[in-house]
Amino acid sequence: MKFSRQTTLRAQASVAGVGVHSGLPVTITLGPAPVDAGFIFVRTGLEGSDREVQATAEQVIATEFATVLGDHDGPLVSTAEHVLAALRGMGVDNATIEIDGPEVPIMDGSAAAFIAAIDQAGIVTQPAQRRFIQVLKPISVKIGDSFGEIRPHATGFRVEVEIDFANPVIGQQSYAFDLNPEGFRREVGRARTFGLMCDVARLWSAGYALGASFDNTVVFDDERLLNTEGLRYADECARHKVLDVIGDLSLAGLPLLGAYRSVRGGHKLNHAVLTALLADRTAWRVVEGEAARRTTRPVGEVGRGIVGGRIAAAFGPDVS
Ligand SMILES: [Zn+2]
């Protein structure tokens, strides 16, 4: 992370497209948010008033094919992970995400359009130290043959992904990434959503993937890649899983200092590991400072008055 201070967007920038699961047209507008606000979705276009949902783990209400945020009144924003990955990946701490439909647009299946919107809006620093969740001890979760673990790491946030598909074209892939904005833009942000042709009928019958096409999904059958334009990276599938992890783990509410490893994982595993981490108050603490220089310090040592807003409130006495 380059900045030791929190950042937000300088201006608003919009992205319009269709939802991959709903097939519905939708526009999202990224914009500034105050210090300690985190990422806030504002659902517009509803009968009655707009509804807000904080992009945090406790607002996750489904993880089957995408990460869905909502509240006691039901789902509000589906497929939140790619735009959240773009914000976290590019080093934005606080942003509003206005959305006029139920699902974030899939665009080309990657985070590229959201990165372009962040570039267009510009990033500005804010008058408060960046705060992090520092992982203090390993937390692991096993779900079927999936395994996920988050553990302490010397500096920054590292993601290690291993995938192992029976499909011979995808097969085994692994990718490790130390999060930084330029690396995210170049190596991870452009990796697209992928799927198997044989799964499409099943997804359609379940009401998913209605907007999926070769324009937004890398599709494989048992013998080959079906997209005529080819892959952006030989290991694009593993890189996309890294993109999803960055989005899903942004729901910690603050940037993480730690290393996350996912084996045959997905949104459900990512959410389970994050939830298990946050539930164990001996496994993390909030620190502030410049992670890359190891000058972080526990927030408790720097006194009162430096934190406020909803994210700070969510972490309660630890940061007061
Ligand atoms: Zn994804």
Report how far ligand 1's centroid is from the alpha carbon of 26 (Å): 18
- The maximal CA–CA distance of the chain, rounded, in angstroms, is 60
Separation CA 4–CA 148 (nearest Å)? 29
**Which residues crowd ion ligand 1, with CB under 5 Å?**
193, 244
Place of tokens 């996309």: 240
- Alpha-helix residue ranges (DSSP H) falling in the chain: 81-89, 112-121, 181-183, 197-205, 236-249, 267-279, 309-314
Q: Say which residues have a Cβ less than 8 Å from residue 26's Cβ, sequence separation at least 6.
A: 16, 17, 18, 19, 99, 100, 101, 102, 103, 104, 105
Q: Tell me whether residue 267 is one of the annotated catalytic residues.
A: yes
Which has the closest alpha carbon to 258: 283, 293, 288, 276? 283
Report how far ligand 1's centroid is from the alpha carbon of 88 (Å): 15
The catalytic position among 21, 240, 267, 271 is: 267
Instruction: Label the pairing between strands 25-31 and 284-288.
Output: unpaired
The pLDDT of residue 136: 98
Asked if 57 and 251 count as a contact pair (C-beta separation under 8 A), the reply is yes
Report how far ligand 1's centroid is from the alpha carbon of 21 (Å): 12
Q: Say which residues have a Cβ less than 8 Å from residue 183's Cβ, sequence separation at least 6.
A: 177
205: its two tokens:
């019958």
Report how far ligand 1's centroid is from the alpha carbon of 249 (Å): 13
Report how far ligand 1's centroid is from the alpha carbon of 262 (Å): 14
DSSP labels for 226-258? --TT--SSTTHHHHHHHHHHHHHHGGGSS-EEE
The pLDDT of residue 306: 28
Report how far ligand 1's centroid is from the alpha carbon of 82 (Å): 6
122: its two tokens:
């510009």
The pLDDT of residue 250: 98
Count of beta carbons in the 10 Å neighbourhood of residue 24 = 13
Place of tokens 């999904």: 217
* pLDDT beneath 50, residues of the chain: 1, 292, 300-310, 312-320
Asked if 288 and 299 count as a contact pair (C-beta separation under 8 A), the reply is yes
Backbone angles phi, psi at 272, to 5 degrees: -65, -40
Report how far ligand 1's centroid is from the alpha carbon of 48 (Å): 31
The pLDDT of residue 208: 82
Separation CA 87–CA 208 (nearest Å)? 25
| Cα three-residue angle 288-292-296, rounded to 5 degrees | 25
The pLDDT of residue 282: 97
The pLDDT of residue 78: 93
Report how far ligand 1's centroid is from the alpha carbon of 67 (Å): 9
Which has the closest alpha carbon to 46: 80, 82, 18, 70? 70
225: its two tokens:
């890649």
Please write down the HEC assignment for all residues of 33-87.
CCCCCCEEEEECCCCCCCEEEECCHHHEEECCCCCEEEECCEEEEECCHHHHHHH
209 phi-psi bin (left φ>0, alpha ψ -120 to 50, beta other):
left
